[in-house]
């Protein structure tokens, strides 16, 4: 099944920001486009707004004047749904209410031809439930664009329970013909991105609720150590706290209140207070004119240790060994591989976050996972009240000698980046095992949909098969609520290779 022919009209119902964006994408691709809105005058206003955006594209040399004029000629406001009768595709972008969408598609089904593809841009409702109102749900599909639709490349092509393969394929190929990067997924709460991205927000909020670190410090660690483009607090301020929390609640409810998707009480209080982020002038941060942005906690300068003794290969942190030598710190290697840690001159230990807590051991400081230890500009350390000041000082000095800012946080298992990545990896493996999407499409979706530095499966390959499972298993022992219980899919992934490698 090929993409919809460019000569065939495409309709967009709902002319808000997302509807206008989708219409612009189809228009620039070459289709005649019809705009419809139930509120009189809105379709005409939307057409004018799209025309103004086309003018800006011309000013930026992204579209020729002739191309703009031709696109404007193809754009038509529709006075009634009956004006969409000859459209080959109708994309809905109206209010996120199931009854409203179902009623709209019932009415559309009475108007359009039998071979017209019907699509919803819903981000939180069930595609299956919306399509269930149709006499022919086989031609119904989800086309979830990301805002702003003209700029962001990702489109999640969602197959409902009754969606025909030919309809899904046609929608997929059409999105690709429009210059987008489509990914195919089954109709599951949150689809790909909003399902698998939940831990990025949830774990940051959990560390904050545990009073282990403030928002500015957590954001700085996620950016400067984890390689994420934005931290969870600043990103949700940009998205809108009310919007982000609404998506979280929707996914949580749709999964029958699965503890893995439990919303944050701290975020709930923020929303209740009216602090919705940038759009309200205050969220986790204050955006009033002249307001000072809080600085992340950064440790004072300390002297580096003269030497460290390394036990094991440090796993995902192995790159630290040549870095230490380059910084002039003598590295002594223990021939007995009885761990993956560094022993500091005072006898204290420095270990990569593994889901355990410092208070469980004698004189241990944990350090967080980094996307790239060479490029990271900040590293987080965690210690308990029982950790000696000498051990913490030596640990701080060690990372400062590598050119890193150091943030000391509370004694939380899995720290910040490590627990976040482990949970994202787990949800991704679980999604593949349940037929939601392929590994490739999930990695693509997370890279393009939320700008993660790596897709979950690329993280998994870098960190090793057992890394995420072992960390979550340790976290689960310390928090047996089920929030951190590794999925069966991750368990199988972690141990399948171990079994093969142990076979003579």
Tell me the catalytic residues: 123, 144, 156, 194
At residue 182, the 3 state secondary structure works out as strand
Q: Which residue has the tokens 């029958």?
A: 256
**Concatenated DSSP letters of 410-446:** ---TTTTHHHHHHHHHHHHHHHHHTTS--HHHHHHHH
Structure tokens at 168: 């899904």
| CA distance linking residue 427 with residue 435, whole number of Å | 12
Contact 29, 177 (CB under 8 A): yes
Among candidate residues 316, 328, 389, the one with its CA nearest the CA of residue 353: 316
How deeply is 241 buried, as exposed, middle or buried, from its count of CB atoms within 10 A (0-12, 13-18, 19+)? Answer: buried
Q: Which residue has the tokens 């205050």?
A: 282
Distance, CA of 99 to chain centre = 28
Contact 258, 226 (CB under 8 A): no
At residue 224, the 3 state secondary structure works out as helix
Q: Phi/psi of residue 374, each to 5°?
A: -70, -40
| CA distance linking residue 135 with residue 456, whole number of Å | 39
Q: Which residue has the tokens 């899904």?
A: 168
Strand ordering across the sheet containing 378-382: 330-333, 307-311, 341-343, 349-352, 364-367, 378-382, 405-409
Structure tokens at 410: 């509370």
**Concatenated DSSP letters of 383-419:** --TTS-HHHHHHHHHHHHHTT-EEEEE---TTTTHHH
| CA distance linking residue 396 with residue 230, whole number of Å | 25
Structure tokens at 477: 């022992």
The residues, ordered by sequence, that sit 6+ positions from 440 with a Cβ below 8 Å of its Cβ are none
Among candidate residues 61, 398, 418, the one with its CA nearest the CA of residue 222: 418
Strands (E), 37-179: 75-77, 89-92, 117-120, 140-145, 154-159
How deeply is 160 buried, as exposed, middle or buried, from its count of CB atoms within 10 A (0-12, 13-18, 19+)? Answer: buried
How deeply is 299 buried, as exposed, middle or buried, from its count of CB atoms within 10 A (0-12, 13-18, 19+)? Answer: middle
């Amino acid at each position: 099944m090929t993409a919809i022919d460019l000569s065939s009209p495409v309709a967009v119902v709902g002319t808000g920001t997302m509807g206008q964006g989708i219409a612009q994408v189809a228009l620039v691709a070459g289709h005649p486009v019809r705009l419809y809105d139930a509120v009189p005058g809105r379709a005409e206003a939307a057409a004018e707004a799209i025309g103004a955006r086309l003018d800006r594209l011309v000013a930026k040399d992204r579209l020729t004047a002739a191309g703009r004029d031709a696109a404007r000629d193809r754009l038509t406001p529709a006075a009634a749904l009956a004006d969409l009768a000859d459209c080959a595709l109708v994309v809905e972008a109206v209010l996120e209410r199931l009854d409203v969408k179902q009623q709209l598609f019932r009415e559309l089904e009475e108007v359009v031809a039998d071979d017209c593809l019907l699509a919803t841009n819903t981000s939180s409702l069930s595609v299956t439930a919306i399509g269930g109102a149709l006499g022919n749900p086989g031609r119904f599909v989800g086309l979830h664009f990301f805002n702003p639709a003209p700029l962001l490349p990702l489109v999640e092509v969602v197959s409902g329970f009754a969606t025909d393969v030919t309809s899904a394929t046609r929608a997929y190929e059409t999105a690709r013909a429009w210059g987008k990067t489509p990914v195919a997924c089954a109709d599951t709460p949150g689809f790909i991105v909003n399902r698998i991205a939940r831990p990025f927000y949830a774990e940051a909020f959990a560390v904050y609720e545990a009073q282990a670190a403030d928002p500015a410090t957590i954001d700085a660690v996620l950016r400067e150590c984890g390689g994420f483009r934005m931290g969870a607090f600043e990103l949700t301020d940009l998205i809108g706290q009310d919007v982000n929390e609404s998506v979280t609640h929707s996914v949580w409810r749709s999964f029958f209140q699965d503890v893995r998707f439990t919303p944050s009480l701290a975020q709930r209080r923020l929303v209740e207070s009216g602090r919705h982020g940038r759009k309200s002038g205050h969220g986790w941060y204050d955006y009033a004119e002249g307001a000072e942005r809080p600085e992340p906690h950064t440790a004072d300068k300390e002297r580096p240790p003269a030497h460290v003794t390394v036990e094991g290969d440090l796993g995902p942190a192995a790159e630290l060994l040549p870095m230490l030598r380059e910084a002039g710190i003598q590295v002594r290697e223990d021939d007995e591989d009885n761990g993956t840690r560094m022993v500091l001159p005072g006898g204290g230990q420095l270990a990569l976050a593994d889901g355990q807590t410092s208070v469980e051991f004698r004189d241990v400081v944990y350090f967080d996972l980094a996307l790239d230890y060479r490029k990271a500009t900040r590293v987080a350390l965690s210690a308990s009240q029982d950790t000696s000041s000498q051990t913490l000082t030596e640990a701080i000095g060690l990372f400062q000698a590598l050119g890193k800012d150091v943030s000391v946080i509370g004694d939380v298992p899995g720290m910040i980046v490590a627990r976040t990545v482990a949970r994202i990896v787990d949800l991704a493996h679980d999604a593949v095992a349940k037929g939601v999407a392929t590994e490739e499409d999930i990695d693509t979706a997370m890279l393009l949909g939320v700008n993660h530095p790596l897709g979950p499966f690329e993280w998994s390959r870098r960190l090793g098969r057992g890394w995420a499972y072992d960390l979550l298993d340790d976290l689960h022992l310390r928090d047996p609520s089920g929030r951190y219980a590794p999925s069966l899919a991750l368990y199988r992934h972690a141990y399948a290779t171990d079994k093969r490698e142990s076979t003579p």
